[in-house]
Chain A
């Protein structure tokens, strides 16, 4: 009984805060790799492969707004040259990666991290303005 009580207190005091604050290194690394992969494909002009790394919402929005295909919309979006990663924030299933020239937002799926918005610049007190994003 005493062991159970100790475990309960340990869970309360130590375990619960960790739910909110601990971001394992491999999650940060997975977010960075997904960002770099997308940036590399985009810079190389392989827009079709880059489209496969977008969330379905971002792909649909790209087709809806630019089209006629996701690859064509991505080519026309004129995303800036990404540059080096400056910072990475991961909270639950959402992430933000700040690059030298713009910011990416990512969402976690069972198959890995996908780009939900790219070419984003901050706006005071409002959501980022993004050249490419899901609805």
Chain B
């Protein structure tokens, strides 16, 4: 097996989703530019070129409003499923495991193995931080992209208002605006729906071979098993 084939086999998920992300982002830029130019032309303004468009706040707010909700979804799922359970769902731990679990179960401190990450074996702040590192990164990405959404959204709305000879909107006022909360909540509701329905559907439905599903023959009551 060549090095490239081995790399693709070892990294199939990240490569396929990474390429899909880039293609979708480029597609969004083309479609977004066309939509923005229709808006500009109806206002009698000059249309923008492709590279000019991808540097606009209009493009930035459309991207970041989706990013923030995706990272929020993963953060809530990671954090919530420490304590929240769903009987029969492969997305849930077994019913007696709610909480942070014992050091032995988590293989930290004296229970760390030879191949455990170094920070799992050491105690103190490093172990505390490493034990929550995935959630911390997801939360940071969520807060960063939500902040970016608020700043670029305020700029995009202000530009649109100036074009219509109206006052711009300061960032602090934008945080209380209908535009900000409409963009935010329309994304949050769809993410929460997707996560909640996945947890329930996976109790009764199966996808043979997927680690996100229980084995096809597993009982509906079996919790915390992934195929």
Contacts and interface: CB of A to CB of B under 8 A. Distances in A.
Contacts of B45: 93, 107
A94 B167 CA distance: 11
Interface string A107-128: 1010000000100101000111
B56 to A, nearest CB: 6
Interface in A24-82: 57
B152 A16 contact: yes
Given A16-B148, A20-B148, A109-B46, A93 B140 contact: no
A95 B163 CA distance: 9
Interface stretch (B27-35, B58-66, B181-189, B208-216): B58-66
Interface string B63-107: 110010000000000000000000000000000000000000000
Please classify how large the interface on chain B is, using the bins under 10, 10 to 19, 20 to 34, 35 or more: 35 or more
A127 B165 contact: yes
Given A12-B148, A19-B60, A89 B162 contact: yes
A17 B61 CA distance: 9
- Chain B binding surface, main DSSP class: helix
Interface in B115-173: 140-141, 144-145, 147-148, 151-156, 158-159, 162-168, 171
B141 A20 contact: no
Tell me which of A20, A117, A130, A134 has the highest count of chain B C-beta atoms within 10 A of its own C-beta.
A20
Contacts of A120: 165
A20 B171 CA distance: 10
Nearest to B46: A109
Nearest to B166: A127
Given A134-B44, A135-B44, A105 B156 contact: no
A21 B154 CA distance: 9
A14 B44 CA distance: 33
B178 interface: no
A45 B58 CA distance: 39
A84 interface: no
A98 B190 CA distance: 42
Interface of B: 44-46, 48, 55-58, 60-61, 63-64, 67, 140-141, 144-145, 147-148, 151-156, 158-159, 162-168, 171
6 contacts: A12-B148, A17-B148, A17-B151, A19-B148, A20-B60, A92-B57
